[in-house]
Amino acid sequence: MNIYLPPSYSTSTKRYPVVYVPGGGDLIKHCVNHLYRLYLEGWLPELILAGVETYGGQTESIPRADESDAGGVLVPGGEEARAFIDELADRIKPYLDDHYRTIQDGKRTAIVGSSADALPPLFAAYFRPAAFGNIGLLSPALGYDRLMEFICAQPALSGHLRVFLSAGAQEGLQERQASRSKAGLTLELRRLWQSQGLAGDQLAFELEEEGTHDTMFIAGQFPKALLWLYGGEAERPLKPVRDMKDTGVTASMRYELPRTETFRLRAECSGLAYCIFVSQPLRPAPAEGYPVLYALDGNAYFGSLAEAMGMQAWHPEGIAPGLIVGIGYDSEEPFVYGRRMYDFTTDTPESEIRSDGMAWPPTGGADSFLEFLEQDLLPQIQSRYPVDRSRQSLFGHSLGGLFSLYALFGRPSPFRSFIAGSPSIWWNNYALLHRLPEFEERLAQGADLTELIIAVGSEEDPSMIEDALLLYQRLQPYSGQGLALSYMLIEGEDHLSVIHPMISRIFRRIFHN
C-alpha cells in the first residue's frame, strides 16, 4: 500500500478523509503535485490518499462467470473481486483508521479507480456503500461480457452515495472492429442510474470531447473527481478580478450568414459531439413544412449550400424554400479528417494500408453515426423548425458520398433522397457493394419511392468516374420501380471544384416547386 499524507499532517492534530485508489495508486503518482497545489490554494480539503495494491494485478477487477453457478449468473470478478472489496472494507480501512488520523465515517470515505481498476469502486457502490460513500469511476472498463447485464439486474444505488463518472468521447475509437465507442457504455450506465432516481447532486458526469483511453487523459480526471466529491468542504479563495481597460480600439464585426444558427448536439449512442449548422429560408414555410437537406462535412459545405438556397429561393419563381442543415465538428478546418474518417466508414481490416504505406486512422463508426442522425439529429431539427418529413434529403461528397450510399442500401430510412457526390465506392475493397443485394430485394418487393442522385466531375480520377457509372448502370433496372435514379457527369470539374456546380443541379431536383 502506498500512503500519501497531506502537507499539514505532521504539524496538526486534524483528522482527514481517506481516498482509496485501487491499482497501487498510479493515479495519485501522476498528479500528486497538482493535488498539493489544490490543497495549498484552498480549492480542495487535505486528504489521505491510499494506493491499494490488487492481487495479481487487475485480476479481481475483471468480471467473469462463476463456474459453480449452473445458471451462468455473473459474479463480479468471481470470488476474488468480492473478497477484495470485503478486505478493503473490513481489514484495510480499519487498519488505516487505527494507525492514521482518519475520518472514519464511511460517508466521508472514497474509492476512486480508472479503467479496469474502476470496477472495484463500482462493485463497492453496490455491495459496501456503508464503508465507501464517495465513488469515482474514471473511464470505467464496462465492456466485459455480461457486465452491463449484471449491473441492470441490481437494485438502485443507496441514496446517500455520491458518484463521479467520467469518460472520453474518443475512447475505443482507435480499436479496430469496435462496434461502438467505450463512451457509449458509460453513457448507458449514466442513463440507467438517472432512471433509477440518482439525483443531480448525487451524480456528476463528465464527457471530455477529445478524451482518449490513456494515462494522460485519465490522470487529469482524478483531481476533477476529488474536487467534485470534496470541494464543497474547502475554503476556496476568490480569484482576483482583473480590470478591463479601454484600449480605444473598436472590435471589428464578423460577417455572419443571415437566418443561420449553430448549436452542439451530442450523440446518445457514442457520446461524440457534433456542430450543427442550420439555415432557415426567408420565405415562410408551406403548410406541410420545409423540405430539408442534411449535409455531411458541414464545416466545408454549409456556407455554400446556405448561400445558394438564399439566392435561388429568394425569387417567387425560384426553387422552393428549404432548410439546410450541416453536420460538422468543433473546428475551423473545412475537413476534420479523423472524425469524418471514423463517422463515414465501416470497419477496415487492420492489414489494409493507404497508398502512402501508412495505416488508416480509426474507422468503423458508420452505424453509430447513422443512429445519431436518425435518433438524435432529425428529431431535434423537427422539434425546432417546421419540417416536411416526407422530403428529407442526405448529401455527402467523397467519403460522405460513400456514407450516403451506405445509409441508402441498409435499413429503410427517414430520408427520401440521397445524394452521393463523387462517392468513394472503392473504400475497403468495395465492401459497400455487399449491401446492394439487400437494397435490391427491398426494391423488388415494392419499397416506398426513394431518390438517388449520383454526381461526379469529368476531370476526377477515371476510376472514380467508372465506379459511379457502374453503380448507376447496375441500379438502372429499378429506375421507376421504387427508385428515382439520376446520374450527373459534370463537365470540366475535378474532385473539389465539382461541388458548386453540383449544388445548383441538386437543388433543382430536391427543392422543386
Q: Which residues have a catalytic role annotated?
A: 398, 460, 495
The CA–CA distances, whole Å, from 168 to 35, 62, 213, 376 equal 21, 21, 7, 20
Q: How many CB atoms lie within 10 A of CB 190?
A: 18
Give SS3 for 291.
Answer: strand
Angle, in degrees to the nearest 10, between helices 499-510 and 298-312:
50
The CA–CA distances, whole Å, from 421 to 268, 291, 499, 506 equal 28, 20, 8, 10
Among the listed residues 110, 156, 100, 102, the one whose alpha carbon sits nearest the alpha carbon of residue 133:
110
Residue type, 384: R
Maximum alpha-carbon separation in the chain: 87
Residue 184: its H or E element: helix 182-195
DSSP 214-271: SHHHHHHHHHHHHHHHHGGGS-PPPPPPPPPPP-SPPPPPPP--TTEEEEEEE-TTT-
The C-alpha R_g of the chain, in whole angstroms, comes to: 28
342: Cβ contacts below 8 Å, ≥ 6 apart: 173, 361, 362, 363, 364, 365
Please say whether the beta carbons of 125 and 161 come within 8 A. yes
70: Cβ contacts below 8 Å, ≥ 6 apart: none
Beta pairing partners, 450: 483
